[in-house]
């Protein structure tokens, strides 16, 4: 499924419906840091997010240390942001809502 790249204004509109996500300077990616109470909570979140990512065939760039997970979303096939990034962001927020601190 070919996704169209969202221009800055469209990306900002979608971003305004989310909490804690930031747009980068070139409007080509969104990022968020998730904090949990320990490594198991963080890894549980990553496991749920991984299952969703695989279903969507859309994969996060992320970095985990102990209870923290830094996430960056971007659609490399489109060279920027697409609806898929926001779909995955919403799913990650839902997954995190169970274990986030
Ligand atoms: C071939 C494969 O379907 C593509 O490379 C998919 C896989 N996962 C992906 N994930 C992300 N974040 N962006 C993509 O463009 C992308 N493309």
Summarised one tens digit per residue, pLDDT across range 8-67 is 999 999 999 999 999 999 999 999 999 999 999 999 999 999 999 999 999 999 999 999
Give 65 Cα–ligand 1 centroid separation in angstroms: 24
Confidence at 98, pLDDT banded by 50, 70, 90: confident
Q: Is 47 exposed, middle or buried (0-12, 13-18, 19+ CB in 10 A)?
A: exposed
Tokens representing 13 are: 């509109």
Nearest CA, atom 3, ligand 1? 57
Pocket of ligand 1 (CB under 6 A): 57-59, 74-77
Give 7 Cα–ligand 1 centroid separation in angstroms: 19
- CA 99: distance to chain centroid? 16
């Amino acid at each position: 499924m070919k996704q169209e790249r969202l221009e800055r204004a469209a990306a900002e509109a979608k971003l305004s419906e989310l909490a804690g996500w930031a747009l980068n300077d070139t409007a080509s990616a969104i990022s968020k840091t998730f904090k949990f109470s320990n490594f198991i909570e963080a890894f549980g979140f990553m496991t749920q997010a991984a299952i969703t990512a695989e279903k969507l065939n859309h994969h996060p760039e992320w970095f985990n240390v102990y209870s923290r997970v830094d996430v960056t979303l971007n659609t490399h096939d489109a060279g920027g942001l697409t609806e898929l990034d926001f779909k995955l962001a919403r799913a990650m927020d839902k997954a995190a809502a169970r274990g986030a601190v």
